[in-house]
Amino acid sequence: MPETTEYAATFALVDTDGDGRICARELAALMRNLGDETTEEQAAEVVRAMDSDGDQRICLEEFARYMAQNRS
């Protein structure tokens, strides 16, 4: 299991409602703020790829695992 503290600050920026989970709406909003034209449907696909427990949201542990596996 990757260290979650390494990714906590980034996770918190995306988790705009502070509920400890990232939903497709929050991810799409972040991408739009960064200048990307990501739709909520596209963001939902990304969430599904990262979501290991099937709740359609990303927790910090899922986020950290995904980020650690996809480092360049």
CA atoms within a 13 Å half-sphere pointing along the CA-CB vector of 45: 4
pLDDT of 20-64, one tens digit each?
Answer: 999 999 999 999 999 999 999 999 999 999 999 999 999 999 999
The residue whose two tokens read 């596996």 is 69
**CATH no. for residue 14?**
1.10.238.10
Contact 20, 59 (CB under 8 A): yes
Q: List the domain range (segments joined by +) for residue 11.
A: 5-69
Q: What does the pLDDT read at residue 1?
A: 54
In the structure, what pLDDT confidence band is assigned to residue 3 with cuts at 50, 70 and 90? confident
Q: How many domains are contained in the chain?
A: 1
pLDDT of 27-39, one tens digit each?
Answer: 999 999 999 999 9
In the structure, what pLDDT confidence band is assigned to residue 70 with cuts at 50, 70 and 90? confident
Contact 26, 14 (CB under 8 A): yes
Identify the CA nearest to 6 among candidates 70, 72, 67, 69. 67
